[in-house]
Structure 1
Amino acid sequence: MSARVHAVLVARSGSTSLARLLRALDALAAQTRRPDALTIVACGPSSAMRSSVRVAQSAEAVIETKASTTLASAVALALPRVAKDADLWILTDDCAPAPSALEQLAGALERSPAAAIAAPKLLSDVDEHRIASFGQSMTRLGRAVDPARGELDQGQLDGQDDTLGADVRGLLIRAGRGLRPDPGLGGRDEGLDLGVRARLAGARIVLAPGARIAVDDTTGEGTAADAYARRRAQLHRRLSYAPAAAVPLHWLSLLPLALWRSITHLTGKRPAAVLPEWGAAGVAMVSGSAVARSRRAIKADRSASWASIAPLRMTRAQLRQHLDDGHGTEAGVHEELGFFSGGGAWAVLAALVAGVALFASLLAWPALGGGALLPMRETVAALWRDAAYGQRGFGVGVVGPADPFSGVLAVLGSLWPGAPSFSLVLLWVAALPLAMLGGWFAATRITDRPGLRILAGTVWALAPTFLIALADGRPAAVLLHLLLPWVFHTVLVAQRSWGAAGAASLLTAASLACAPSLAPAFVLLWLIAIVWLLVLRRVRGAVRMVWVLVPSVVVFAPLAIWQAARGTLWALLSDPGAILAAPQATADAAGRLALLGGLPTMDQAGWPALLHAHGAPWVLWLAAPLGVLAVVSTITRRWSVGIGSLLVAATGLATAFAVVGIAVAFTQSQAVPIWPGSALSLAWIGVLGGALVTLDCAITRPTWRGLAALVAAAGVVVCAVPTGVSLVTGEATIHRGELTTLPAYVSAQARGDRELGTLVLTAQPSGALGTTVVWGASATLGAQATMVSTATAPQGVDLTELSVDLVSARQFDAPKALGALGVRFVLVESAADKETSAARSLRLQAGTALDQRTGFVRVGETPRGVLWRMEAAPAARQGLTAGQRATAQLVVAIEIIVLLAALLLSIPTRSSRRAARAVPRAVGVLPERAPRPAKPERERRARPRRKPKTSPESLVIPAVAGAGSADPAGEAPDEQSAPSAQETAAPEPEAESTTSTEALLDAEETDGVAPPESATEVNVDDASEPRTGSAPAKEADE
């Protein structure tokens, strides 16, 4: 005879709690074998339950407790009311047992005397044929696995009756075993833990497939709360199950394991699990009493060894098989990239040939000079030191944040560690093929036509802003132009996956480091994207888009705080690197007209100088065809992509209009406006994207499409001719550079980036004296700091008075004053190309004054100027204070953590690549249109042929006159051979009101995997017929 059964039902408070509870009570009342007693534990307010007549009739008691009480703790509150000889049936308010559930569970315990627990088959209450849980296992490291979860219930598992554990909902625990859920698990894995304890006590858990219980299957998997609960339970079980001698080792490994698992979470594109990982580790470290209680409970009932559990653990191979869902793209469309087959590789190779032809002489140069180009540090360590918070490479006692651009240069110089300065030479030589490659890949987000992709790469590589930056020696503008296509490529799909968001965040940070003046434009576009995603209710995509700017905020935050503290927040927009005072578009109508034509300078792309003419106003119209194509994109079928592209172009153009009138940096006592070419690069990529949309969708005939593309590209090519000629003839600003900006004597003394100070005195054109201290062998590009170039007051130690006294007749101990600052050399720079009389007078006066001072040894005249060395050795350069060192360490640590997180997110994995292949590569692709059905021919009555008149002698009267005697040419079509309208009609296309962003984000809730019904346009070559998905309806009729 079966034992008594006492059911404990744990109910949670909520808007539907009473309805769920009543459903569970109805299911219990319908049982063929009803429980002998029922106790309800209400977690939260229970007034509604207590007032219910149905609850009062069914339950022998209602216990109220806190809403945060776990299931194990709730069951423990009801245990005093459970008789010692009664089996315990654990239920929750979402359980709806089948009528024979309890009978099957009790029968399973009767048939298996060694069984201590009987587990039911849990089914989803949404789909009764879907298994929610049926037996659980765990790996060697303690990871809980539910192998049957999500499978269709076809009876394939009904033959199993042995398992390691099970879901705690619906478990029937035999009386007298003393098995109770462990409150230390925090509400997760209670059933698995009960199964393990039963095994160690010499019993087992048996499966009852006939006991079916419908449960709520929406467990919130993938959320931070779920990750925290799982990890907390796993760590608690690990500390509870481990041998006593190993517990301290496990405790000490909690934080290192949290760090390692955080890295794996980021690599696996699960950033939401990082904070829960650390939270679970912290809770496990302070839960010693809970672990001790669990260990005592196991020890009290244990009669078997841990070897009895080993056969039921899931092996690594089984876990891999369980988690692996295949290698194909069953749910999506696989599109070939076509880089080699589509001619992309040949286009890049052609650009490489052109780059070598333009910059072949550069390969013999040790470094680049001219414009804003400077040498780089001799060692990689010094490059990264310049990129960190601390002492700057100029001035005395100047301590503060480095420009983010210094980090970009450190990465670039690390690619050629033997001679970092030569990395800039290689960058110039490879600039054209790299731009072609970036433009080609950016175009893959717009079109799948190989010809249009090559067009995009060509236009991007020959953009005037890029070629002028190469000719003028603007490394920041060159790097920005090379980075922008990849920003475009990743940001457009950043909402699809964390991998794309991580890559986009790094590229965005690097782009803003090269052009801080684009920050307002980037922020505006970023906010628009987030709002648009929220409007479409793509919350996950919006969260990923938020991350895109997080690394940029982190790397700019120290500099922003530093500038804000001095009231110079606008200085953040300054161009990084060396400040170059060169001709550029002005802030008047003529200058903005040049910007509207895509030109950052006023020389009309150099055509007047090349033609020896007074002007070439027609140059401003060369980019007009590209602009017209971009505007037309707003009325194409992919209008949303066209509008987005035009929004990018308008933002870039507006930024260029604004920055030409903003001057926040100074050089040679002259205020220098911000370079507008960086903003124009942003405008160029927007215009190019819109033009590609038009060529891809609006112009469907290959001939007309090719002609339009040729006209647009021809204008850009013509615009690029003068700059290319200047690079070939050597008339460009860039020239052979040296490895140092100081005399060779100083460079030799400071070899290896020794901290030797050189006081550099420069006669300004106005007759003023410019002064600065350069540390090391040279003034380097990475050592430049906008906190110095934009300063409105002297930074660090003010050298103004000391420098003026040094070049005047005032008598003082100059060597002692300079030596105390760590200065070893004094350099009076040589005259500029066009030296004013005031500057020449000051330079000669300075040289005379230094020759007359004691303690100074004249080294001699050098190409850099006249050099003096002090006889006495100077003091060492003053280091950082304790507070400054702590600040530097904190800033560097935070930046490394955030950038490392972004880098780990961006690393592709097998699953992320598979998910990316399951969605269209191009954005804004609408479902493919079906051709309109062919109109069936109207049935026409067959007209009998008019018979010729014959003579009566030749008249023949047929015996039977029928339709078959008619001419076949005049027969009516056979009903079976003539297709009807229903047979020829294709499915109706989806409404075009669906925006391209909606089509792009169809798979958002499945984390980047598109549903099977998502259709895309078909890959075709330029020479093929118009695509079905983009052809107008009129052509479909034709």
Structure 2
Amino acid sequence: MRRYFVTAIVVAHDGGRWLGETLQAVLGQSRRPDRLVGADNGSRDGSADVLAKALGSGNVLKLPRSTGFGEAVAEVLGKLPGSGQDEWIWLLHDDCAPDHRALEMLLHEAQHSPKAAVLGPKLRDWLDRRRLLEVGVTVDRTGRRDTGLEPREFDQGQHDGTREALSVSTAGMLIRREVWDEVGGLDPFFPLFRDDLDLCWRVRNAGHRVLVVTTAIAWHAEAATRRRRPITVSGDHPRRLDRRNAIFVVMANLPFRALLGALIRNVFGSCLRTLLYVVGKQPANALDEMVALGSILIHPTRLLKARRARRHGRKKGYIRIKRLLTPRGAAYRRLVDMVQSFLAGEGPVGSEGRHHYAAADEDAEVMPSDTGAVRRFVGRPGVLLVAALTLVTLVAERSLLGGDRLGGGALVPVTGDAADLWRFYTEGFHDIGLGSTDWAPPYVAVVAALSTLAFGKTWLAVSVLLLGSVPLAGASAYLATRRIIPEVPARVWLAATYALLPVATGAIAAGRLGTAVVFVLLPVYAALATNLLSGERRRARRAGWGLGLLLAVGTAFVPLVYPLFAVLGVLAAVAYGGVRRDVVTSMAIALTVPVALLFPWLAGLVLDPGRLLLEAGLHDAALSDQQLAPESLLAFSPGGPGLPPFWVTGGLVIAALAALLMRAQRMIVAIGWGVAVYGVLVAILASRVTVEGARAWPGVPLAFAATGLLVLVGLTAHRLAESRAAGGPRRLGATLVVAVAFSTPVLAAGFWVAQGVPGPLQGSAADVMPALAALKSQHGERTLVIRGSGFTVLHGRTPLIGEAELPVASKTRALVATAAEGLAGGRGGKDAATLARYGVAMVAVAPPVAPELVKALDSEPSLERLNLSDAGGLWRLLEPLGHVPAQPESALHRPWLWTQAALVLLVAVLAAPGRREPTAERVESPAPAALVSV
């Protein structure tokens, strides 16, 4: 073999705890370096003495404490004479111990790869010697490292084989001396972190190859990265310094066109990560992310200077390098993984990617292989469940799809966009109908926020919430119970049965948006309440904030949610408070947050308790039965249109009754049935109360009751499996119970698909505001719409969601109601003058139009008929119009809106999953190890 001259350089900086073993490993090489020198960067732990003892004081260069790794190597090489031979430089950290044949293997590969200028070993962990750290490194176009390894992956030879890599670590890097001089060595701008990436990138731009040689092995402690020793070469935090250098390397070495894309991705990616870090209660990480990016953007001349120094070969080299970069799809998946880890309660983790992308040679095409991952994801039980529920929903709601306006029943025909809803929610005086200064219903803000996320389209947000409530509820129930019910078949059954309860199909048929939203949230309430009662203190406190926030959302749509849950919450706090004191505090937080966020709207409901039984939307007596039959209550059927027969949900009741026969887990059975009975009793009371001419709909209490039985059956499902395995009569009985239980979701889905959505909800609902009236209302004049025995006053357009629910001053409403009744009864011009005084310019009659009403309106001299058809009629008032003066906005309105927004943000941050930061290891001062002298 060709004889190479090797200069080994060991750089130390407070590395006494590792340096002894490192030097022993270097001196024990099967192919020893021809020249071994050291540099000490101002160590205070005796590292300089260890180097001098092992190498001789004449072979150690002492440098200031602020010297970086690259500067130290450059200083050493500047003082060494040339060898006059084919020289290689072997770079070693003080915390990197090479295997005794590492240098021999690197030189062997250099002999067989003449184009290779940089070679690096396979790196393993210093403490766990089987764990892989690096087998070559690549990055995406935002600078995020990708080792291609799973977390804590052991070395079993799965990554062996010499191959191309974008970069190898300077810990054990072997580089040709002439190539080092050609590219200028390590850039002193990078005192730590990413200096190896920048060097390898420039080497490849110069036309050379970078190889990772897996037959050469080294063990690395990564002391600087893991904060196992103080870092003094820079005033920045290590994480911030690493992120800054990562962005700088990519933006300095990419061609101009690729640079623009990388700049956009870095800006948007950093903003998103910062947001996740803030919400995840990691302010230090958020600050590091933004400061790192800002330090690049505010010094453009520094970046331009670096790009000029790297301009030679950059475009040509990128053709080869881009194959080794992390593919674009993998970068997006990494961002998705970060968001998913945040949503899963692990915090926004910025870990390295899990995919390995390296080419066997320069001409190899690198393509990500995600077929297996996609197949595994699609084959998950939860994914299949949601897909099946979505298919059932699309078929059952076939009559509602493709319409131009969703509305009917309790749902006002959906109009306007997100900006309209925000304007309605934030304004102090609502110039709609007869005018109102009351606070807009808080659920309008929730719909407005979701509409904003849906690109401003309110119809899309409402359609997803209402029409998609069945698959959403299935997904919610499946995910929320993953810690409560570990058995997957039981969880699938629970989620499918819950999603297809009569409450869900009845809410969709009647257009009950409030019930649909709460129906999706109920499983989450159960999961958070479980965490609150059984989790450790930090987790319980976080669950309390999260439960309070979501409880506020549910209460905004259905006010009955709060007292319904508060009773159980107080009972749970009393029961568990003696065992775990923090339960009382966490439950108090959960019950206090909705009051704070929904004030003063919630205070208005307390003054009028009957309104607690109403929910978001219109209140029509035709939407609920006058009195529920006993079998409807037992089948959790709340009455109204779109409900299946009572026997469809009989399987759930039978399975819950079978649980009463089990001797074990009696406490679970008692709690489950207790919750069910409590929910049914509340439903009975609610269904017998009439508010604003309509009976309250007991959908939410019955869904609450069904949830108790579903969780009960899910928790005792393994007992049925044990009975089936026992044989005999027990096996037969358990099999029958299982068959009956699984018949519930199957029958419910089949009936819903066959029946469709027969209720008043329509995909193409008629506009409440007559088209001709809207055309004539050029200046927003009011229109009195008479529908049967009731009336509505519209102000030039169809009302937005929530506007029809604003209370009107009783005196004004009484006067207008008397005038409307007078016109309909043909009593004379005083009533027309009263209407005109309140700005009513037209009278519209909704179909069907009664002949007696037409005759009465035609006989009124103050009215002029404009139109009459099967679609309705329209008359104009000839009286001079008055003007309803705008009432002054409350001085506290705007300040409280800002306070409310701040409270929502604060609670969201406190409820968000957090992640404890790893603390730096204590730096001990071990006695120097015994060294082998040169």
Q: TM-score, normalised by structure 1?
A: 0.50
Task: Identify the match of residue 307 of structure 1 among 309, 316, 325.
Answer: 316
Aligned ranges 1:891-902 → 2 under 5 Å: none
**Corresponding position of 1:987:** none
Q: 1: CA distance between counterparts of 2:434 and 2:205?
A: 72
**Corresponding position of 2:664:** 635
Gaps of 5+ in 1: 12-16, 496-500, 530-545, 611-615, 834-842, 899-1038
Provide closer, same or farther for how the CA distance between residues 346 and 584 of structure 1 changes in structure 2, counting only shifts above 3 A: closer
Q: 1: CA distance between counterparts of 2:639 and 2:314?
A: 86
1:691 aligns with 2:713: yes
**Corresponding position of 2:124:** 123
**Corresponding position of 1:192:** 197
Gaps of 5+ in 2: 83-88, 227-236, 328-356, 360-364, 536-542, 573-585, 725-729, 823-827, 907-934
**Corresponding position of 1:984:** none
Contact 1:625 1:712 in 2 (8 A): yes
Contact 1:395 1:773 in 2 (8 A): yes
**Corresponding position of 1:98:** 99
Give the aligned residue type for 2:601: Q
Q: 1: CA distance between counterparts of 2:481 and 2:139?
A: 47
Contact 2:469 2:520 in 1 (8 A): no
Provide closer, same or farther for how the CA distance between residues 274 and 449 of structure 1 changes in structure 2, counting only shifts above 3 A: same
Q: CA RMSD in A?
A: 8.1
**Corresponding position of 1:679:** 701
**Corresponding position of 2:598:** 560
1:373 aligns with 2:375: no
Q: C-alpha offsets along residues 60-95 of structure 1, whole Å, 9 cap, x if unaligned?
A: 577785xxx8xx845547865775327976544531
Shift of 1:708: 3.6
Task: Identify the match of residue 79 of structure 2 among 84, 103, 116.
Answer: 84
Residue 323 of structure 2 aligns to a residue whose secondary structure is: coil
Q: C-alpha offsets along residues 837-862 of structure 1, whole Å, 9 cap, x if unaligned?
A: xxxxxx9xxx99x9798xx7687999
Shift of 1:167: 1.0
**Corresponding position of 2:187:** 182
Give the aligned residue type for 2:17: A
**Corresponding position of 2:443:** 403
1:382 aligns with 2:416: yes
Shift of 1:678: 0.8
Residue 36 of structure 2 aligns to a residue whose secondary structure is: coil
**Corresponding position of 2:219:** 214
**Corresponding position of 1:949:** none
**Corresponding position of 2:12:** 9
Shift of 1:203: 7.0
Q: 2: CA distance between counterparts of 1:467 and 1:169?
A: 64
Contact 1:6 1:35 in 2 (8 A): yes
Q: 2: CA distance between counterparts of 1:716 and 1:143?
A: 46
Aligned ranges 1:615-634 → 2 under 5 Å: 625-630=654-659
Residue 35 of structure 1 aligns to a residue whose secondary structure is: strand
Task: Identify the match of residue 249 of structure 2 among 217, 231, 237.
Answer: 237
Shift of 1:283: 4.0
Residue 413 of structure 2 aligns to a residue whose secondary structure is: coil
Shift of 1:888: 15
Task: Identify the match of residue 841 of structure 2 among 812, 824, 829.
Answer: 824
Contact 2:511 2:761 in 1 (8 A): no
Aligned ranges 1:752-901 → 2 under 5 Å: 756-758=780-782, 773-776=793-796, 778=798, 782-784=801-803, 788-789=806-807, 818-819=838-839, 824-825=841-842, 869=877
Contact 1:39 1:62 in 2 (8 A): yes
**Corresponding position of 1:998:** none
Contact 2:96 2:218 in 1 (8 A): yes
Shift of 1:891: 13
Aligned ranges 1:441-456 → 2 under 5 Å: none
Contact 2:131 2:155 in 1 (8 A): yes
Give the aligned residue type for 1:376: P
Contact 2:522 2:704 in 1 (8 A): no
Residue 601 of structure 2 aligns to a residue whose secondary structure is: helix
Contact 1:232 1:280 in 2 (8 A): yes
Shift of 1:467: 7.6
State the number of aligned residues: 760
Provide closer, same or farther for how the CA distance between residues 2 and 866 of structure 1 changes in structure 2, counting only shifts above 3 A: closer
Give the aligned residue type for 1:687: L
Q: 2: CA distance between counterparts of 1:206 and 1:480?
A: 56
Contact 1:826 1:867 in 2 (8 A): yes
Task: For CA contacts below 8 A with separation 6 or more, give which structure has more relative contact order.
Answer: 2
Provide closer, same or farther for how the CA distance between residues 764 and 649 of structure 1 changes in structure 2, counting only shifts above 3 A: farther
Q: C-alpha offsets along residues 311-336 of structure 1, whole Å, 9 cap, x if unaligned?
A: 46535896698674664489999979
Shift of 1:136: 4.7
Q: 2: CA distance between counterparts of 1:755 and 1:785?
A: 21
Aligned ranges 1:241-640 → 2 under 5 Å: 241-242=253-254, 246=256, 250=259, 254-255=263-264, 258-259=267-268, 281-295=293-307, 297-298=309-310, 306-307=315-316, 310-311=319-320, 314=323, 324=368, 327-328=371-372, 373=410, 376-377=413-414, 382=416, 387-390=421-424, 394-396=433-435, 400=440, 403-404=443-444, 407=447, 461=500, 463=502, 465=503, 473=510, 475-476=512-513, 479=516, 483=520, 515=558, 517-518=560-561, 560=598, 563=601, 575-579=615-619, 625-630=654-659, 635=664
Q: 2: CA distance between counterparts of 1:454 and 1:115?
A: 59
Shift of 1:774: 2.2
Contact 2:12 2:94 in 1 (8 A): yes
Contact 1:434 1:482 in 2 (8 A): no
Contact 1:579 1:666 in 2 (8 A): no
Shift of 1:402: 6.1
Provide closer, same or farther for how the CA distance between residues 432 and 180 of structure 1 changes in structure 2, counting only shifts above 3 A: closer
Aligned ranges 1:41-190 → 2 under 5 Å: 46=44, 49-50=45-46, 54=50, 57=53, 73=68, 75-76=70-71, 83-85=78-80, 90-99=91-100, 119-125=120-126, 128=129, 132-136=133-137, 146=147, 152=155, 165-171=167-173, 174=177, 177=181, 179-182=184-187, 184=189, 187-190=192-195
| Identical columns (%) | 19
Residue 373 of structure 1 aligns to a residue whose secondary structure is: coil
Q: 1: CA distance between counterparts of 2:700 and 2:147?
A: 54
Q: C-alpha offsets along residues 377-416 of structure 1, whole Å, 9 cap, x if unaligned?
A: 4xxx5265665443666553668576359849999xx9xx
